[in-house]
Amino acid sequence: MSSAVDNEKILQFLPFSSVISSSFWHKLTQMKIDVYALNDEPVEITGYYTNQSISSRLPACLNVDYSSFENRQVSDAVGTNGILCQGLLQNTNTLEAFKDINKQTAINKCGEQIWNDILSGAALSNPSLLTRFLLLTFADLKKYQFYYWFAFPTLVFPSKILLNDDPKEVDKVLTKEELLQFQQAYDEFKSSYGQSAFVVEKNTELGYKCHPLKELANLKDIMWIGFCDPSSLPTNPGWPLRNLLALLAHHHKERLVGLSILCWRDGVRDGQRRVGSSLLIEIKDVVYPGETDSIPKCLGWEKNERGKLGARTVNLSNSMDPERLAESAV
Amino acid sequence: GVAEYLTPVLKDSKFKETGVLTPEEFVKAGDHLVHHCPTWQWSTGDESKIKPYLPKNKQFLLTRNVPCYKRCKQLEYTEQEKIVQPEDGEGGWVDTHPTNDNLTEGSGTAEMSNDEKSDSDEAEDMKNNLGNAMSELVLGDDDDDGEAAVMEDSDLEDEEDEAEVKPISDREHVALKTSESGGEIIQTRTYDLNITYDKYYQTPRLWVSGHDENRHPLSVDQMYEDVSQDHAKRTVTMESHPHIPGPPMASVHPCRHAEVMKFFIQTVTEGGRELGVHMYLIIFLKFVQAVIPTIEYDYTQNFTM
CA torsion through residues A98, A104, A107, A109, sign: negative
Question: Cβ of B152 and A309 within 8 Å?
Answer: yes
Question: Cβ of A308 and B157 within 8 Å?
Answer: no
Which residues partner with A281 through β-bridges?
Answer: A261
Contacts of B246 in chain A (CB under 8 A): 22-23, 25-27, 66
Question: Cβ of A57 and B57 within 8 Å?
Answer: no
pLDDT in tens, A241-274: 999 999 999 999 999 999 999 999 998 887 788 8
Question: Cβ of A305 and B107 within 8 Å?
Answer: no
3-state secondary structure of B123: helix
pLDDT in tens, B32-65: 999 888 889 999 998 899 999 999 999 999 999 9
Residue of B nearest to A160 (CA): B163
How far apart are alpha carbons B175 and B275 in whole angstroms?
43
Domain ranges for chain A: 8-158+294-329, 160-287
The answer to whether A11 and A282 have CB atoms below 8 angstroms apart is no
Contacts of B36 in chain A (CB under 8 A): 271
Domains A8-158+294-329 and A160-287 belong to one CATH topology: yes
pLDDT band at B145, cuts 50/70/90? Answer: low
Contacts of B1 in chain A (CB under 8 A): none
Question: Cβ of B164 and A13 within 8 Å?
Answer: yes
How far apart are alpha carbons A85 and A105 in whole angstroms?
22
The pLDDT score that the predictor gives to residue B12 is: 81
pLDDT in tens, B156-176: 766 778 899 876 544 444 444
Least-confidence region, from A230-244, B102-116, B271-285: B102-116
**Residues with pLDDT less than 50, chain A:** 1-5, 330
How far apart are alpha carbons A240 and A49 in whole angstroms?
10
Strands A16-20 and A60-64: parallel
Residue A135 corresponds to which amino acid? L
Identity of the residue in A236, A299, A307 whose CB atom sits nearest the CB atom of B161: A299
Which residues partner with B237 through β-bridges?
Answer: B251
Identity of the residue in A10, A18, A27 whose CB atom sits nearest the CB atom of B163: A10
Element (H, E) at B109: none
Question: Cβ of B220 and A77 within 8 Å?
Answer: no
The answer to whether B54 and B24 have CB atoms below 8 angstroms apart is no
Contacts of B178 in chain A (CB under 8 A): none
The pLDDT score that the predictor gives to residue B158 is: 64
B126 has pLDDT over 60: no
B278 has pLDDT over 50: yes
Strand order in the sheet with B41-43: B41-43, B60-68, B189-198, B203-211, B249-252, B236-239
B37 is catalytic: no
pLDDT in tens, B189-214: 999 999 999 999 999 999 999 999 99
Question: Cβ of B123 and A304 within 8 Å?
Answer: no
The CA dihedral of B139, B142, B147, B153, to the nearest 10 degrees, is: -20
- Provide the terminal-to-terminal Cα distance of chain B, rounded to the nearest Å: 36
Identity of the residue in B41, B119, B300 whose CB atom sits nearest the CB atom of A54: B119
How far apart are alpha carbons A275 and A267 in whole angstroms?
6
DSSP B13-55: --HHHHS---HHHHHHHHHHHHHH-TT-EEE---GGG--TTS-
The closest of A169, A325, A178, A194 to A262, measured between CA atoms, is A169
Q: What are phi and psi of B33, to 5 degrees?
A: -65, -45
The more confident residue out of A327 and B128 is: A327
Identity of the residue in A18, A50, A306 whose CB atom sits nearest the CB atom of B148: A306
Contacts of A77 in chain B (CB under 8 A): 43-44
The pLDDT score that the predictor gives to residue B138 is: 31
Residue of B nearest to A321 (CA): B247
The pLDDT score that the predictor gives to residue B91 is: 46
Interface-testing mutation among B185, B240, B279, B281, with chain A (most A C-beta atoms within 10 A): B185
The pLDDT score that the predictor gives to residue B75 is: 81
The top-level CATH class assigned to A160-287 is alpha beta
**Radius of gyration in angstroms for the set of CA atoms belonging to chain B, rounded to a whole number:** 22
How far apart are alpha carbons A298 and A289 in whole angstroms?
12
ipTM confidence score: 0.89
CATH placement of domain A8-158+294-329? 3.40.140.70
